[in-house]
Amino acid sequence: MTLKTRLVVATILLSIACLPYIASYCFMVFPRPERESEAFKNFDPSKIVEPFTCGHSWNASRPMSMSAGWFAMHFEKGFQGRYILRVRDRGLLMSKLSEDLTSKLLSDGGQILEQSGDPVSGFHFRYKKSHTVGEATIKPLQTIDSRLVQKTSLSNAEVALSVETSMTETWYRTDRELLTFLNPSGAH
């Protein structure tokens, strides 16, 4: 075999070996913050909870994660806060959190596909906006030990609670991929 033939064969073999990586790169969709919905960017439970607090609180947002995928990219973020609240405000707080999220989804041009829950059991939303589908959950309020919020005793009108939310979004490159996700059976 001549040197020229060997080089051609080596080039072909190398191309074949690299083909999966090249194809993967061509079909992968990499995360970009501008593809997050405004509702995803702006939903901040701490702003809703703060007026209900009785002076003691602890907040922590889970870091947002982003991941690339074939034909789609994924975003996820969460929030957990511990608060001292007035007992009578539990239901009102949950309703306000749900109203705020609903308003952000709709004002951003989103469409709520499914909404379920109530102030006692929490709320769950499935939504769509353009090439994005998402899910948001407002978990039911959990009573916690007041020492977790740096308060040793509570009055009868106060309660220590954990507030937790999560949101995930998937941005699809094309309407076809989005429709496949929304209708996996293939029926139109």
Q: Report phi then psi at 103, rounded to 5.
A: -65, -40
Q: In sequence order, which residues have a C-beta less than 8 Å from that of residue 188 and are 6 or more positions away? A: none
Report how far residue 27's alpha carbon sits from residue 14's, in angstroms, rounded to the nearest whole number.
Answer: 20
Rounded to two decimals, what is the model's pTM? 0.78
- The answer, yes or no, to whether residue 188 has pLDDT greater than 50, is no
Q: What is the pLDDT of residues 35-49, one digit of tens each?
A: 788 888 888 898 899
pLDDT category at 184 given cuts 50, 70, 90 is: low
Residue 127's pLDDT is: 93
Helix (H) or strand (E) holding 52: none
Residue 177's pLDDT is: 62
Report how far residue 33's alpha carbon sits from residue 35's, in angstroms, rounded to the nearest whole number.
Answer: 5
